[in-house]
Structure 1
Amino acid sequence: MFRVRRNILPYLIFLIIGGFVFQSCVYDFYRKEFVSEERVNNAALLFAWLGLLPNPNQKLFGFSPGYSRNLSNLQFIGSEFFPKSSKKKIVLIHGWNPAERDADPITGDEKKIQNIKNTFSNGLIHFQEGRDSANSEFDFYLYTYRTSNSILVNGRQFHSTLRGYFADSDQVYIVAHSMGGLVTRVALSKDVGVLPFVRLVVTLGSPQYGSPFATSSFLGSNPFLNDLGNYLVGTQGGSELGYTNNGTGQMPLAGAENLVLDTLNQSFLDTNLNSKFISFAGVMSNCTVAETFYYNSGCNILSNAGFTQSDGIVPANSARLGNLTYKQINVADCDHSMMAFQTTNIDDTKSRNLFTQVITEIRNSPY
Structure 2
Amino acid sequence: MFRNKRTYSFAIHCFIFSFLFQTCIYDFYRKEFVSEKQKNDEVLLLALLGILPNPNQKLFGFIPGASRDLSNSQFLNAEWFPKTNKKKLVLIHGWNPAERDSDPITNDEKKIQNIKNTFRNGLVHFQEGQASANSEFDLYVYTYRTSNSILVNGRQFHSTLRSHFSDSDSVAIIAHSMGGLVTRVALAKETGSLPFVRLVVTLASPQFGSPFATKSFFSSNAFVNELGSYLVDTQGGQELAYTNHGNLQTNLTGASNEVLDAINDSYLNSSLNQKFISFAGILSNCSMGETFYYNTGCSILNNAGFTSSDGIVTSNSARLGNLSYKQINISDCDHSMMAFQTVNVDDAKSLNLFTQVITEIRNYP
Q: In the TM superposition, what are the counterparts of 1:172-321 in structure 2 within 5 Å? A: 172-220=171-219, 222-321=221-320
Write out per-residue CA displacement over residues 160-202 of structure 1, whole angstroms, 9 at most, x where no aligned residue. Answer: 0000010000000000000000000000000000000000000
Counterparts of 1:62 and 1:152, CA distance in 2: 24
CA displacement 1:55-112 (0-9 Å, x = unmatched): 1000000000000000000000110111111100000000000111011110000000
Q: What corresponds to 1:354 in structure 2?
A: 353
**Aligned position for 1:35:** none
SS in 1 for 2:252: coil
- Residue 13 (structure 1) aligns with: none
**2:13 — aligned with what?**
none
Q: Which amino acid aligns with 2:320?
A: L
- What's the CA shift for 1:242? 0.4
Change (3 A) 1:365 1:111: same
Letter in structure 2 aligned against 1:74: S
Structure 2 CA distance for aligned equivalents of residues 102 and 324 of structure 1 = 33
RMSD: 1.2
* Partner deviation per Cα, 1:288-329 (whole Å, 9 max, x = no partner): 110000001000000111111100000000000110100000
Q: Distance in 1 between matches of 2:228 and 2:250?
A: 21
For the pair 1:147 / 2:146, whether they are aligned, the reply is yes
CA distance in structure 2 between the aligned counterparts of 1:197 and 1:111, rounded to whole angstroms? 29
Give the CA deviation at 1:42: 4.0
What is the aligned partner in structure 2 of residue 32 from structure 1?
Answer: none
Q: Which residue of 1 aligns with 2:100?
A: 101
CA distance in 1, matches of 2:38, 2:257: 37
Q: How does 1:322-341 map to 2 (within 5 A)?
A: 322-341=321-340
**CA–CA distance in structure 1, aligned partners of residues 38 and 298 of structure 2:** 45
SS of residue in 1 equivalent to 2:135:
helix
2:68 counterpart residue number: 69
Secondary structure, aligned partner of 2:80: coil
Evaluate the alpha carbon distance shift between residue 244 and residue 101 of structure 1 in structure 2; reply closer, same or farther with a 3 A threshold.
same
Equivalent pair of 2:199/2:275 in contact (CA under 8 Å): yes
Deviation at 1:248, TM superposition (A): 1.4
Deviation of 1:41 after TM superposition, in Å, equals 3.4
Runs of 4+ residues over 4 Å off in structure 1: none
Q: Distance in 2 between matches of 1:264 and 1:203?
A: 16
Deviation at 1:338, TM superposition (A): 0.3
Q: Which moved more, 1:211-220 or 1:116-125?
A: 211-220
Q: Which residue of 2 aligns with 1:343?
A: 342
SS of aligned partner of 2:287: helix
Q: How does 1:34-45 map to 2 (within 5 A)?
A: 41-45=40-44
Deviates more, 1:211-220 or 1:344-353: 211-220
**Residues matched between the structures, number:** 329
- CA pair 124-61 structure 1, distance change in 2 beyond 3 A: same
Partner of 2:89: 90
Who is 2:166 aligned against? 167
2:147–2:237 Cα contact (<8 Å) kept: yes
One-letter amino acid of the structure 2 residue matched with residue 344 of structure 1: V
Identity of aligned residues (%): 74
> Matches of 2:209 and 2:45 in 1, distance apart?
30
What secondary structure does 2:330 align onto? strand
Q: TM-score, normalised by structure 2?
A: 0.88
User: Is residue 2:88 matched to residue 1:79?
Assistant: no
1:221–1:215: structure 2 CA closer, same or farther, 3 Å change rule?
Answer: farther
Shift of 1:221: 5.2
Question: Paired residue for 1:123?
Answer: 122
Residue 69 of structure 1 aligns with an amino acid whose one-letter code is R
Secondary structure of the equivalent of 1:280? strand
* TM-score where L is the length of structure 1: 0.88
Helix, strand or coil at the partner of 2:269:
helix
- Gap regions ≥5 residues in structure 2: 1-36
Q: CA deviation at 1:227?
A: 3.7
The alpha carbon displacement at 1:228 in A equals 4.1
Deviation at 1:286, TM superposition (A): 0.6
Query: How do 1:51-66 residues align onto structure 2 when only pairs under 5 Å count?
Result: 51-66=50-65
Q: Distance in 2 between matches of 1:184 and 1:148?
A: 16
Tell me: CA distance 1:43–1:248, structure 2 relative to 1, closer, same or farther (3 Å).
closer
Instruction: Pick closer, same or farther for the CA change 1:225–1:132 going to 2, 3 Å.
Output: same
For 1:127, the aligned partner's letter is F
Looking at both structures, which has the greater relative contact order when contacts are Cα pairs under 8 Å and sequence separation is at least 6?
1
Give the Å deviation of 1:229. 2.3
Match of 2:31 in 1: none
Q: Measure how far apart 1:40 and its partner are.
A: 6.6
Cα distance in 2 for residues equivalent to 1:143 and 1:67: 22
**Cα distance between partner residues in 1 of 2:310 and 2:97:** 19
Residue type of the alignment partner of 2:142: Y
Look up the match of 2:362. Answer: 363
Stretches of structure 1 lacking an aligned partner (at least 5 in a row): 1-37
